[in-house]
């Protein structure tokens, strides 16, 4: 399928789903936009990093921009760059949007966002540098799963900063281990409490 036919398919998808293309935060066009491309570290990290998200950050071009704000990430605070959606990815993204839980929407939303426990990721393409950390654009935020099966932002970020996957993999491992440990501790406490109740009840019954 050609790119032109692909974007036409996205338009038909919007029509059959009884939503207008204006309600979809992304423009279904082949036009490229300029995006801010940077990796911002927490203040405790090295201040000599060159890829910081200042007004003079480097840029790239794609048919959409993305940004990711970390909530509990070690080292990494904010990442942004460009992405090139195929017509089929845009169609899948629109389907995901229709089936995901809408958590918040501002009037005139132009940022399409997914909010998870650890991070918020947004895409946009209605103007150049729409992913600038200094922009305050209206947004629509959906639950986890919005970008599932559509685009892997971890891979895109790793192309900007090769250390990203290694650092985040170690973090996820430690987080899961900590969660498992906490869960085990809670379960053990409940079992001990239940056992104490049984022993006490048996003692009183005698």
Do 156 and 169 fall into the same domain? no
Question: How long, in residues, is the chain?
Answer: 206
**Contact present, 103 and 112 (Cβ < 8 Å):** no
pLDDT value, residue 142 = 96
Q: Provide the number of structural domains found in the chain.
A: 2
User: Closest Cα partner for 18 from 98, 92, 96, 103?
Assistant: 98
Instruction: Look up the domain containing 89 and give its range.
Output: 3-162
Average pLDDT in the 146-166 region? 91
Do 149 and 175 fall into the same domain? no
pLDDT value, residue 46 = 53
pLDDT value, residue 13 = 47
In the predicted model, is pLDDT for residue 25 greater than 70? yes
**Contact present, 110 and 119 (Cβ < 8 Å):** no
Residue 8 or residue 48, greater confidence: 48
Q: What one-character-per-residue DSSP string does 27-64 give?
A: --SS--EEEE-EEEEPTTS-TT-S---STT--EEEESE
pLDDT value, residue 151 = 95
For residue 63, name the pLDDT band (cuts at 50, 70, 90). Answer: very high
Average pLDDT in the 93-107 region? 92
Do 143 and 94 fall into the same domain? yes
Q: What is the pLDDT of residues 172-198, one digit of tens each?
A: 444 444 444 444 444 545 555 444 555
CA distance 134 to 56: 12
The fraction of the chain above a pLDDT of 70, given in percent, is 67
Do 21 and 59 fall into the same domain? yes
Do 170 and 158 fall into the same domain? no
């Amino acid at each position: 399928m050609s790119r032109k036919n692909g974007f036409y398919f996205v338009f038909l998808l919007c029509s059959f789903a009884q939503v207008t293309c204006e309600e979809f935060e992304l423009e279904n066009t082949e036009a490229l936009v300029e995006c801010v491309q940077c990796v911002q570290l927490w203040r405790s990290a090295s201040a000599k990093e060159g890829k910081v998200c200042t007004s003079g950050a480097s840029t790239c071009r794609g048919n959409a921009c993305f940004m990711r704000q970390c909530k509990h990430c070690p080292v990494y605070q904010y990442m942004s760059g460009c992405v090139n959606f195929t017509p089929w990815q845009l169609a899948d993204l629109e389907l995901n949007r229709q089936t995901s839980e809408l958590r918040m929407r501002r009037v005139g939303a132009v940022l399409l966002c997914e909010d998870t426990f650890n991070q918020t990721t947004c895409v946009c393409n209605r103007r150049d540098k729409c992913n600038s950390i200094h922009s305050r654009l209206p947004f629509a935020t959906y639950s986890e799963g919005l970008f599932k099966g559509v685009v892997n932002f971890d891979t895109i970020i790793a192309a900007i900063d090769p250390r990203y996957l290694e650092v985040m993999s170690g973090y996820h491992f430690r987080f899961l281990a900590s969660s498992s440990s906490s869960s085990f501790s809670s379960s053990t406490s409940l079992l001990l409490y239940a056992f104490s109740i049984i022993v006490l009840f048996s003692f009183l019954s005698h």
